[in-house]
Amino acid sequence: MGNLLAFKISYIYHMKKFLYILILCSLFFSCNNNKTLTDVLNKSEFTNSEKQDIIKMVEFFESKIISSEANFKKDYEAFVKSVYQNGYEVILNIIDINKQRKLIKSISNSTFNEIWEISKSRAYMSYSGVKFEEPIPYESLSVNTKGKYVKLLQKLSKGNKKIEHYTNAVLNSGDFPLFQYAFNLMFDSYGNASGDISNGELRIIFALELLTINENTNRHISLGE
């Protein structure tokens, strides 16, 4: 009887210990997922305040396209696929440019300049395709190829062929490349999901590229017909 009681006590003790370890592991991995963006940015040369600015932009972007945490992967993939298939109007309809510009104004100049630079362009036709009588000069955002963001992309390229392909396209074009390159980070040639969007690397890349597209497209539209 004493042995049986001792066995039961030992069993209950070890089960409690096992459950405790499971809970700790669950919390550990949950915390790791929450820190994914920080983990990625810690590989960069960004200062702590610049890192917080980038996280703020990523979270702003995701708040516009994700219905709930449970649907994060599904909603994100659906949005990216919709932009690829239907064009930039998808972004224009979902992300309010005035709210986005308010956000961008709230980040530091150093953060902005380490990601973007201002490029002078000429528009020969309107966004809807109507040819202007004379080219209209305007300014747009492009990637600062010598900034900390591109340096981070180059670091992330090591050991990741898809990001390396994307980064090479950025450097070769001197700007964000065609959206096809970003799309390929998440989908294969058959349109099947092949990239993990919970990965902080992809979350940063997509947020910054799509916010840039939204800004530049709105600037183009503002030139009129």
pLDDT in tens, 182-196: 999 999 877 888 878
Name 131's bridge partners.
Answer: 125
pLDDT at 129 over 70: yes
pLDDT at 74 over 50: yes
How far does CA 193 lie from the centroid of its chain? 16
224: left (phi over 0), alpha (psi -120 to 50) or beta: left
- Token pair, residue 196, equals 């993990």
- Token pair, residue 80, equals 């990216």
Identify the pLDDT of residue 2.
52
Using pLDDT thresholds of 50, 70 and 90, give the confidence band for residue 41. very high
Mean pLDDT to the nearest integer, 109-135: 94
Using pLDDT thresholds of 50, 70 and 90, give the confidence band for residue 159. confident
pTM, two decimals, is 0.82
Long-range contacts: 106-112, Cβ < 8 Å, 24+? 106/56, 107/53, 107/56, 107/57, 108/49, 108/50, 108/53, 110/47, 110/50, 111/46, 111/49, 111/50, 111/53, 111/54
- Token pair, residue 18, equals 């096992």
Identify the pLDDT of residue 195.
78
pLDDT at 25 over 90: no
Identify the pLDDT of residue 22.
41
- Token pair, residue 43, equals 């590989």
* pLDDT tens per residue across span 30-40: 344 434 899 99
User: Domain locations in the chain?
Assistant: 1-34, 35-221
pLDDT at 105 over 50: yes
